[in-house]
């Protein structure tokens, strides 16, 4: 574990000198020191970091929930639903069509619909933090789309599991979906009506007790969420949503920051460990086609979201480029597909697709003003002013 931290830090320092984002460098460290690359192998079994990687994802989404206050849901729920629904229709729909076009099979097409359709909450969060955009107006729609995606994700996984396992019982699929939806509803009600009670339980002047309390709560609810068929990440997000509105919210935000950074790095490093570069050439052209399709659909979704919120070209570009990344959900689907014995080309395809977008997304988001110039209204004076403001570093 120490070697993983040091390798990630070393490459990130080198990349920082030439302006590269940290996410692909953490992933690259995992690839170079993993079991699939010639040379020294730091970890022969990627599962050795599985729990730490899961903790990194939980903390990333917990932090996201802290930033996304209940007031944002109360005042912008309808717009958030429209923007998120439009994003899903465009991207999941395009992914399904792409899956059928490849001709690998119906189950494979359903898997690819999810892979191409859902953004990486972890990478999106990291991009927003690294670029200092947490306080930007367009960040709220971005986080709103992530929330809608995570709700869809819970229901989608519950529906897809019996299909991949060969179950022919519609009632079993409905029961699984009902359990997931019911637990999500319970978390939403707790976030809506239980904030005062939770705030009293969490209230303490001792930072040590506060850290142990919020960390225990986030990890525990994430684990229970997984038992009900809901992604552990969305459970952690909902806990962050609850605690962010309490009197301790600002202190928690400050205390969780170093934990999020440390274990978030391990999450991306562990992702790199799972990638076998030797498998990528066989699916190169489908991967490139999928990447181009995803970029196009994200621009279309960004334009739609910007219209809902009446944003200019720069904000539109920020939305489109930030949400491009694909990650943890795609890897979950790859694992499910392998366990179900689906087409063996799926795993290397998903690995190559996710890796390429994990590299492109931070680079594209950091240079979103290039896209803004060619979007409608991109050369207006106010858009240039937004561009200049967007380039000012912000401490989060």
Q: Which domain holds residue 63?
A: 1-165+179-373
Q: Give 208-211 contacts, CB < 8 A, sequence gap 24+.
A: 210/248, 210/251, 210/252, 210/255, 211/255, 211/256
CA distance 236 to 58: 6
Predicted local distance difference test score (pLDDT) of residue 289: 95
Gyration radius of the chain over CA positions: 20
The CATH number of the domain holding residue 280 is 1.20.1530.20
pLDDT of the chain, 396 residues: tens digit per residue:
888 889 888 988 887 777 666 777 888 888 889 888 888 888 888 788 888 888 988 898 788 788 766 665 566 677 888 998 999 999 999 999 999 999 998 889 999 999 999 998 778 888 888 888 888 888 888 888 887 887 787 677 767 766 776 655 566 667 766 777 788 788 878 877 887 888 888 888 899 999 999 999 999 999 998 888 777 877 888 898 889 888 888 899 999 989 988 888 888 888 788 778 887 888 899 999 999 999 999 999 999 988 888 888 999 999 999 999 887 778 778 777 877 788 888 888 988 898 889 888 888 898 898 988 888 776 654 444 444 445 444 443
Task: Give the pLDDT score at 379.
Answer: 65
> 153 in a domain, yes or no?
yes
Instruction: Find, among 393, 65, 58, the residue nearest to 253 by Cα.
Output: 65
pTM of the model: 0.72
Asked if residue 309 belongs to a domain, the reply is yes
Tell me what pLDDT residue 294 has.
Answer: 94
Assigned domain for 34 exists: yes
With 0-12 / 13-18 / 19 or more C-beta atoms within 10 angstroms meaning exposed / middle / buried, residue 161 is middle
Question: Does residue 201 belong to any structural domain of this protein?
Answer: yes
Tell me if 387 is assigned to some domain: no
The pLDDT of residue 87? 93
Residue 61 counted as domain residue = yes
Overall domain count for the chain: 1
Q: What is the dihedral of CA 73, 81, 186, 146, to 10 degrees?
A: -80
Residue 380 lies in a domain: no
Q: Is residue 160 part of a domain?
A: yes
């Amino acid at each position: 574990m120490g070697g993983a931290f040091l390798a990630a830090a070393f490459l990130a320092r080198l990349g920082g000198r030439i302006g590269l984002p940290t996410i692909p460098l953490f992933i690259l460290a995992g690839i170079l020191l993993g079991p699939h690359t010639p040379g020294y192998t730091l970890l022969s079994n990627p599962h050795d970091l599985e729990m730490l990687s899961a903790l990194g994802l939980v903390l990333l989404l917990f932090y996201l929930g802290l930033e996304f206050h209940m007031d944002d849901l109360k005042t912008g729920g309808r717009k958030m639903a429209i923007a998120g629904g439009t994003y899903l229709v465009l991207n999941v729909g395009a992914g399904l069509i792409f899956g059928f076009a490849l001709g690998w099979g119906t189950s494979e097409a359903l898997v690819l619909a999810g892979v191409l359709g859902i953004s990486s909450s972890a990478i999106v969060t990291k991009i927003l933090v690294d670029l200092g955009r947490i306080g930007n107006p367009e960040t709220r729609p971005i986080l709103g789309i992530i929330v809608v995606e995570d709700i869809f994700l819970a229901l989608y996984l519950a529906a897809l599991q019996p299909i991949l396992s060969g179950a022919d019982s519609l009632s079993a699929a409905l029961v699984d979906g009902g359990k997931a939806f019911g637990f999500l509803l319970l978390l939403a009600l707790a976030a809506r009506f239980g904030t005062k009670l939770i705030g009293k339980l969490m209230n303490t002047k001792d930072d040590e007790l506060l850290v142990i309390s919020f960390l225990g709560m986030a990890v525990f609810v994430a684990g229970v969420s997984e038992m009900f068929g809901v992604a552990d990440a969305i459970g952690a997000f909902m806990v962050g949503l609850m605690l962010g509105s309490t009197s301790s919210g600002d202190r928690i935000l400050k205390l969780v920051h170093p934990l999020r950074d440390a274990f978030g790095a391990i999450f991306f490093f562990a992702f790199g460990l799972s990638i076998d570069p030797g498998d990528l050439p066989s699916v190169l052209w489908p991967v490139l086609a999928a990447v181009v399709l995803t970029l196009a659909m994200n621009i279309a979704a960004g334009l739609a979201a910007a219209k809902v919120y009446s944003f200019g070209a720069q904000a539109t570009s920020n939305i489109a480029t930030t949400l491009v990344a694909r990650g943890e959900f795609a890897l979950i689907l790859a694992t499910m597909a392998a366990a179900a014995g689906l087409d063996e080309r799926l795993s290397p395809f998903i690995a190559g697709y996710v890796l390429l977008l994990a590299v492109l997304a931070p680079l594209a988001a950091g240079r979103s003003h290039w896209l803004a110039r060619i979007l409608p209204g991109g050369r207006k004076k106010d858009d240039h002013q937004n561009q200049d403001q967007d380039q000012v570093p912000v401490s989060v």
